[in-house]
Structure 1
Amino acid sequence: MKRFSVIMVAILCSAVVMAGGVPDALMQKLTKLKEEQRIPEYYSTAFMGLADNPNNLDLMDATAEGLQLIGALPRAQAVCERILNEAPGRAQTEKRLEDIKKNLEKINARIKLVQQKIEEDPDNGQNYVTLSAIYIGLKDYAKAREAVNKATRLAPSNPLANLMKNAYTQQLDEATKKAIVLSQDALGAYNKGQKAEAHTLFQTAFTLSIISPFVYETYATYLVKQKKLGGALIALEEQHTIHPDPGQGMDLGNVCYLLKRYNKALAYYSEEFKYSRYSPKAHYNMGLCLRELGDKKGAKEQFDIAFKQMPKLKEMKSNAVYVRGVKFEL
């Protein structure tokens, strides 16, 4: 009996580790990567760990920390805010978010100051060099590239501007292009049944570059194919943070609907209307959400709009939703 009790305690402790904290093997790997200052790999390992542990707040916090250490502060802030939406008052995340906001406040003040200098002296290429350096630090390479291109046009002989254009824009573009190709190869490997190869390729892609929305989108497709919807939602939300697109609302809404997160699904479906007023499927799916939430009147209103915009929808009354082209029966 005593032996049985010991075994049960061990099993329960193991379950607690898996449910509440980071699984031991993964935690050890993350600790080692952080100690060795392999931060891009630390981020990619934590982020991909969420595929199997999508509700693990410690792993989500590790991804936020990875982004923070890399310098992608706006994205780190977005992850922290998602965590706090799920777990209001979580002390370590609140502290991280506070630190991130303080740093962003200082950086935004610097950006504003440089922009004022540019307004006063628009032909001074050095100001654009300074602005580009700030955006590079934030890992906002689109704005950095725009600024450094202006710098090289205004001051073609400026050695720092030319160095930045080569080292921090062109070379980064190459890394991102390589990451995109790797993500496509990873999805192809998965489709051929080469699961371990696919995982390795995706991890390499995320370690190489964290700035391509396409890589996150491809990774989301990979997870959807495995029915790992919690992880897919995280990947799609990260893609949405990098490149907000109202057209992604249906995919995000459908994942949330399948996960029974109906209020969140409603918010994403409503984004479709920023893209187009005509979206009968969004109205129909909003009706489904409202029905699940017990709002029969609201559901009927949405169904009526959907059927008016697309009469065939009333006959079809779809019993399935699609995410990244994958069909899920309701």
Structure 2
Amino acid sequence: MLLDSAGLSWSESWSRIRCLGLSSEFPEEEVVVPGLRVLVTGATGLLGRAVCREFQNNGWLVIGTGYKRARPRLLRCDLTDEDAVRGLLHEYKPDVIVHCAAERRPDVVERHTEAAVNLNVHATSTLAKEAAACGAFFLYISTDYVFDGRNPPYGEDDSPNPLNVYGRSKLEGERETLRHCPGAVVLRVPVLFGEVESVTESAVTSLWLKVQEATESCTLDHCQQRFPTDARDVAAVCRKLSERARQDPSIRGIFHFSAKEQMTKYEMAVAIAQAFNLPSNHLIPLTEQPAASALRPVNSRLNCSRLELLNLSVEPRPFTSAITDCLWPFTPDKRWRQTVFH
């Protein structure tokens, strides 16, 4: 029997499907919303939480899965357990599956390759097979790291050439997705940030710690070009793709979505400092490739015209306003927001 993390059987908790515990904006009373059903894997993560919110706010019945970090009202499921995944989809019968769960830290993937491949490739393969079997639309989140960064911008039909194990695992996940579920969508996105529970949850928001170290100089990469993208915007694209694909079977294959502002980590940190009126002269640009266990592409800019031509994109939030939204809860005195915004 499938149990959620509160110990309820799935049949007992079905009528109370919703994403609880993801943020304080959700009310504590039970809510039943008529509509289509979406299953979101990795619902405890940065993107998963944003996807759950986006779908729920637009009338979908939402259930999120987690494993080590599963919370009340989230379904605990080991995605590397084929029987558990099969049972989950058989009992829930989702109309849409948004597969956000992944090991997305390149250096961690280099050190723990087997576990990462089990999640990024094998679990994706199982989900794609079962999605096809139950007739669910399957949306797989992939990465710009499938490209080597030598000849940007990259369109959906350009040949991938990942530089690290993370990129290779996500590319293999793409191939498994489209092999087992031909009607699926692969959505490639760049580095993400958003409403975080800890600033270390995203490589972008973690720069807040460097910005605050004003008493000591701090070197930051000023070589690798990135396109930091708000998870809320990605979530909106996921919903639009899902809604359109249910009406139009030609919505399938690979799509790209990215914000348009090109920034290095150094430039992101300076922008963060300026947004909060903090000093940035302790931040030192490093113009050589930083040492890391995993190689990164220098510039893997994505061409997003396919999504835009189909009117399935959204206008990305400007970096400064979006990062301010995300980091203000971590300021020493949060009351400044009431003055600025109210």
Instruction: Please report the TM-score for the alignment, with normalisation by the length of structure 1.
Output: 0.24
Structure with the largest fraction of helix: 1
| Structure exhibiting the larger radius of gyration computed from Cα positions | 1
